[in-house]
Amino acid sequence: MHVLVVGGDGFIGRSLTAALARHGHTLTVLGRGDAVGASKADAVIFAQGRKTNSLRELVSVHVDLTMDLIDKIAPTRCIYLSTVDVYGDASEPQSEERPTAPELPLARIKLEAEKALAKRFEGTDRLLTIARLGTVYGLGQGGEGPVCGLARPFLEGQSITSERLSDSMDLIHVDDVVTLLLCVLELASPPPILNIASGLETSIFDLATRIRDLLSLRLREDMKNLVSARQETFRPPHRQRVSIARALGLGWAPTMKLEEGLTEIVLDGCRTFPREL
């Protein structure tokens, strides 16, 4: 199958293109800054990430570019990587049938792209899957990811202070995401919407504590008080709680345990920052 991967030079895109190549697919990769031209492809996977805080640029990348390519290429298959944040704050696990109520700017833009794609594919025999991802992490993410972002201060001998410590995420390793995307690409009747996550909720405070323990460091003595004080002063926590029953029904299950994923990132960080801790 000839697959066009948009955002193929990004964090998820790099892992995805490598896996697609291993499985014998013909690839065209469109990276950041590449000229957009007409291309023949059986399938398009939109894996572009967030590289800007400009709402106008986010709309251009996630909505305008997406629809422009769909109209030019008219692929028979399309997978669009969205986010579970389109559900909004989750007090209970969110399934694909739940109404959307995005609060974050990127989630609102992702939902706009979802709706535009659904309208374009409606009434055709072409296949569209909206893949709503949890918080994806893994090696190669750099300082942008939540795990690396929390590990870096510890590795540099600093403490963590953030009003987001009581927020929660559903962390899913990039390798598990790629495995399920490859499965969806081969399905004769793929689901129109699919949550790709671990199904486990982890608070940022708990994540920071796990990273600290892996590094054998101490958090500040007042960290717990700081979390509750910040929560009361600024806002209630934002939570990611996701149901992955539909994905499990496809015969997939996450294989990378959080402790294993954190360990590989922390070990890599220790090589990057060889300070004596």
Three-class HEC string of 241-277: CECCHHHHCCCCCCCCCHHHHHHHHHHHHHHHCCCCC
* Amino acid, single-letter form, for residue 8: G
pLDDT beyond 60 at 70: yes
Overall pTM > 0.95 = no
Question: How far is the C-alpha of 36 from the C-alpha of 69, rounded, in Å?
Answer: 8
Q: Provide mean pLDDT across the span 267-272.
A: 65
Would you state the pLDDT for residue 177? 98
Which one of 2.40.50.100, 3.40.190.10, 3.40.50.720, 3.30.1280.10 gives the CATH number of domain 2-138+173-199+243-254? 3.40.50.720
Would you state the pLDDT for residue 170? 95
Question: How far is the C-alpha of 84 from the C-alpha of 103, rounded, in Å?
Answer: 11
pLDDT beyond 70 at 162: no
154: Cβ contacts below 8 Å, ≥ 6 apart: 160, 211, 212, 215, 217, 277
Would you state the pLDDT for residue 90? 77
Higher pLDDT, 57 or 19: 19
CB 168 within 8 A of CB 202: yes
- Tens of pLDDT, residue by residue over 225-257, are 444 444 444 456 788 899 999 999 999 999 999
Confidence of residue 159 (pLDDT cuts 50, 70, 90): low
Q: Among 31-40, 51-60, 102-111, 145-154, which is the least confidently predicted range? A: 31-40
The number of residues making up the chain comes to 277
Would you state the pLDDT for residue 157? 65
pLDDT beyond 80 at 58: yes
From residue 268, give the alpha-carbon distance in Å to each of 126, 161, 233, 263: 42, 23, 36, 8
Would you state the pLDDT for residue 15? 96
pLDDT beyond 90 at 108: yes
- Return the residue matching tokens 């390519």: 69
CB 45 within 8 A of CB 81: yes
Higher pLDDT, 33 or 237: 237
- Domain ranges across the chain: 2-138+173-199+243-254
Higher pLDDT, 162 or 135: 135
Q: Residue 231, SS3? A: helix
Question: How far is the C-alpha of 63 from the C-alpha of 247, rounded, in Å?
Answer: 26
Question: How far is the C-alpha of 268 from the C-alpha of 254, rounded, in Å?
Answer: 22
Confidence of residue 107 (pLDDT cuts 50, 70, 90): very high
Say what percent of the chain tops pLDDT 90.
57
CA angle 150, 165, 201 (to 5 degrees): 90
- Residue 10 token pair: 């990004």
Question: How far is the C-alpha of 125 from the C-alpha of 113, rounded, in Å?
Answer: 20
Chain Cα centroid distance, residue 116: 20
Would you state the pLDDT for residue 153? 72
Higher pLDDT, 145 or 220: 145
Would you state the pLDDT for residue 118? 97
Q: Among 7-16, 122-131, 201-210, which is the least confidently predicted range? A: 201-210
Say what percent of the chain tops pLDDT 70.
81
Question: How far is the C-alpha of 16 from the C-alpha of 6, rounded, in Å?
Answer: 11
Q: Provide mean pLDDT across the span 198-204.
A: 93
Confidence of residue 89 (pLDDT cuts 50, 70, 90): confident
Q: Is 67 exposed, middle or buried (0-12, 13-18, 19+ CB in 10 A)?
A: middle
The pairing of beta strand 193-196 with beta strand 202-203? unpaired
